Amino acid sequence: MKISLKYPRNLLTKPVLSNAILKTKININILQAKVADSVGEYTIEIDDKDAAKFVDAIRKEGVMAEELKDSINLEREKCIDCGACVSLCPVGALVMKNFEFGVEEEKCILCGRCINSCPFKALSIKKA
Looking at domain 71-126, its CATH architecture is 2-Layer Sandwich (3.30)
Residue ranges of the domains in the chain? 2-67, 71-126
Please state, in angstroms and rounded to a whole number, the distance separating the CA atoms of residues 26 and 20: 8
Residues 6+ apart with CB under 8 A from 73: 123, 124, 125, 126
Looking at residue 21, its pLDDT comes to 95
Please state, in angstroms and rounded to a whole number, the distance separating the CA atoms of residues 108 and 110: 6
Q: Is residue 123 within 8 Å of 101, Cβ to Cβ?
A: no
Q: pTM for this structure?
A: 0.76
User: Can you list the residues of the chain whose pLDDT is less than 70?
Assistant: none
Fold match flag (2-67 vs 71-126): yes
Please state, in angstroms and rounded to a whole number, the distance separating the CA atoms of residues 87 and 106: 18
Please state, in angstroms and rounded to a whole number, the distance separating the CA atoms of residues 68 and 91: 16
Looking at residue 119, its pLDDT comes to 93
Looking at residue 13, its pLDDT comes to 87
Return the CATH fold of 2-67.
Alpha-Beta Plaits (3.30.70)
Q: Closest Cα partner for 45 from 116, 117, 126, 108?
A: 108
pLDDT digits (tens, 9 = 90+) for 46-67: 999 999 999 999 999 999 999 9
